[in-house]
Amino acid sequence: MLSEAFKERLISYQSTVDQALLKIGQDAEPAYLYDPIRYVFSGRGKRLRPALVFLTSSGFGADEDATLPAALAVEILHNFSLVHDDIMDGDDLRHGKETVHYRWNNSTAILAGDGIFALAFHQLNSLTDHSAACLSAFTNATLHLCEGQALDKAFETDGEVHVNDYLEMVRLKTGTLLSLCCQLGAILGKAEKAEIDSVALYGEKVGQAFQIQDDILEIYSDSGKMGKSLGSDIISGKKTYLFCKAKELNPSDWGNLMKSLDGESLGETISEIRDYLDANGIVAEGENLVKELSTDAVVQLEALPHKVQNDLTSFVQYLMERKR
Q: What's the pLDDT at 159?
A: 80
d(CA 32, CA 119): 16
Domain residues of the chain, as ranges?
4-320
Higher pLDDT pick, 304 / 224: 304
Q: What's the pLDDT at 152?
A: 92
Alpha helices in the chain (DSSP H): 4-23, 31-41, 48-59, 64-89, 100-103, 106-125, 131-155, 163-170, 176-188, 193-220, 223-226, 232-236, 241-249, 251-260, 266-279, 282-299, 306-320
- Residue 259: band (very low, low, confident or very high) from pLDDT cuts 50, 70, 90: confident
Q: Which CATH class is domain 4-320?
A: mainly alpha
In the predicted model, what is the mean pLDDT of residues 179-187?
A: 98
Please state at what angle helix 163-170 crosses helix 131-155, rounded to 10 degrees: 150
- Residues 88, 219: contact at Cβ < 8 Å? no
- Residues 198, 305: contact at Cβ < 8 Å? no
Please state at what angle helix 306-320 crosses helix 4-23, rounded to 10 degrees: 80
Beta pairing, strands 93-94 & 97-98:
antiparallel
- Residue 223: band (very low, low, confident or very high) from pLDDT cuts 50, 70, 90: low
State yes or no: cis peptide before 30, omega within 30 of 0.
Answer: yes
d(CA 203, CA 180): 7
Q: What's the pLDDT at 260?
A: 85
- Which whole-number Å values give the CA distances from 51 to 9, 13, 109, 320, in the listed order? 9, 6, 26, 16
In the predicted model, what is the mean pLDDT of residues 212-239?
A: 69
- Residue 323: band (very low, low, confident or very high) from pLDDT cuts 50, 70, 90: confident
218 by DSSP, 3-state: which?
A: helix
Residue 138: pLDDT over 70 = yes
Instruction: Specify which residues 98 forms β-bridges with.
Output: 93
Residue 33: closest CA among 107, 108, 85: 108
Residue 247: closest CA among 217, 256, 125: 256
- Residues 271, 220: contact at Cβ < 8 Å? no
d(CA 56, CA 185): 5
Residue 206: closest CA among 164, 242, 173, 178: 178
Residue 54: closest CA among 108, 6, 106, 97: 6
- Residue 227: band (very low, low, confident or very high) from pLDDT cuts 50, 70, 90: very low
- Residues 145, 177: contact at Cβ < 8 Å? yes
CB atoms within 10 A of CB 179: 25
- Residue 95: band (very low, low, confident or very high) from pLDDT cuts 50, 70, 90: confident
d(CA 132, CA 302): 28
Q: What's the pLDDT at 80?
A: 97
- Residue 264: band (very low, low, confident or very high) from pLDDT cuts 50, 70, 90: confident
Task: For the full predicted model, state whether its pTM sits above 0.85.
Answer: yes
Compute the mean pLDDT over every residue in the chain, rounded to the nearest whole number. 92
16 CA to centre of own chain? 19
Instruction: Specify which residues 94 forms β-bridges with.
Output: 97
